[in-house]
Amino acid sequence: MSYFAKVRVSLKYMMATIDTISNHPQLSEQTKSLISTALNSFEENFSKEPCAVALAPGRVNLIGEHIDYCDGFVLPMAIDRYIVFVTAPNDDNVIRCIDASLLGEPAVEIPIDCDLEISTPKWANYLRGVVDGYFKKGMVPKSGFDVFITSNVPKGGGLSSSAALEMAMAFALKVNGAEDSQSVSTEQRALISQHAEHTFAGVPCGIMDQFASAFGQKDQLTLIDCRSQDVELVPFTDESLSIVIANTNVSHELNDGEYASRRQQTEDGLRILAKPSWRDVSLDEVVASKEQMDELTYKRSVHVVGEISRTIQAAEALKANNSKKFGELMKSSHKSLRDDFEVSCPELDTMVDIALELADKYGVLGSRMTGGGFGGSTVSLVASQNVDSFIDELSSLYQQATGITPEIFASRPATGAQAIGM
């Protein structure tokens, strides 16, 4: 093919690609712009045309914290912040990844013809873990492939950028032929991603993060039963209410022992109660067993039982359009996470306190920390007409109180992980 013929094909391809993205009914203009930038960056970095896009959202949990590994219920939503993989096959036996935030550093190369191990850079272990999970199930891509990665999911903000990274890799493997030999469900991709976080990142997370990224739908919250792994979509269509996410910009590392210690304490509590599942435990039973527990185990147990109940009530409140009750449950959840589970921190408490102090002025119904804790983000339920003013004042007052500039934005429930073929 002549040079000019190749140019004509390339231009035709790019126009089709832009049309596919621009007409996608589930993606916001912000996400479409992110994808468009990534498509151009792929060509600049790999000197060839991309073949597909895989993307996965971060998530925010509205209520149900630290109970996904306790057979509880959680109520997250996928947020309109995505990790985007642009990909095309290569002639090598490696998955070659370039991250937009690390331009100038060597590409990460993951071989597809040998066993994988934990390695450096650390962030790439999330990718290695997913690839390894596919390999162990006999699913290998048709060839190596190149990936350009970009993201607008805040890192370290408790919004599950790691789960989004894992789910995007799962779909990148899918579009490069790894799933051609067998049918893989949304749940299976999420479970492979969860296992990757356990084995390659050393974080014993529950199923919430990956399930929220995988099952998210526009204008729907995702009620997840972490015992049965059933998913129920709960409509969030009230235009008068908005979800405001405030990243404290205090970073945290969940694999530094704090997350693991909380999980161990919940297991200790359940063992003392001699019950097969936290779903079989009442608050009265926890109180009756107080003398058999040390103080920390008792407090953790009180949180787990209370948070399971709060989450069920919250889902029912939304179904009944009782947003006031939902907001009160958010407040109670934060108090329990702060005092009983002890995973909050001064910056999170400050952000929540300021939000609630602005309740009458801006119609704030509830606010709480979200995510693993020890930093990260808060989530607030706010009257839509006041969102911009609320964000401005919350940001200003938080910065005055802490000296830290936060990242605050509103989001509607967004669509989950997917691939877009070209």
Q: Measuring CA to CA, which residue among 350, 351, 363 is closest to residue 390?
A: 363
Nearest to 378 by CA among 30, 82, 65: 65
Q: How many other β-carbons are positioned within 10 Å of the β-carbon of residue 129?
A: 25
Instruction: Give yes or no: 180 in active site.
Output: no
> Angle at CA 165, nearest 5°, toward 39 and 246?
100
Residue 347: burial class (beta carbons within 10 Å; 0-12, 13-18, 19+): buried
Q: Which string of DSSP letters, residue by residue, matches 123-187?
A: GGHHHHHHHHHHHHTT---SS-EEEEEEE-SPTTSSS-HHHHHHHHHHHHHHHTTTTTTS---HH
Q: Judge if the upstream peptide bond of residue 204 is cis by omega within 30 degrees of 0.
A: no
Length of the chain: 422
Contact 223, 77 (CB under 8 A): no
Q: What's the CA gap between 135 and 373, in Å, rounded? A: 33
With contact defined as beta carbons under 8 Å apart, do 214 and 186 qualify? yes
| Active-site entry in 209, 230, 294, 353 | 209
d(Cα 2, Cα 242) in Å, to the nearest integer? 54
By annotation, the residues acting in catalysis are 209
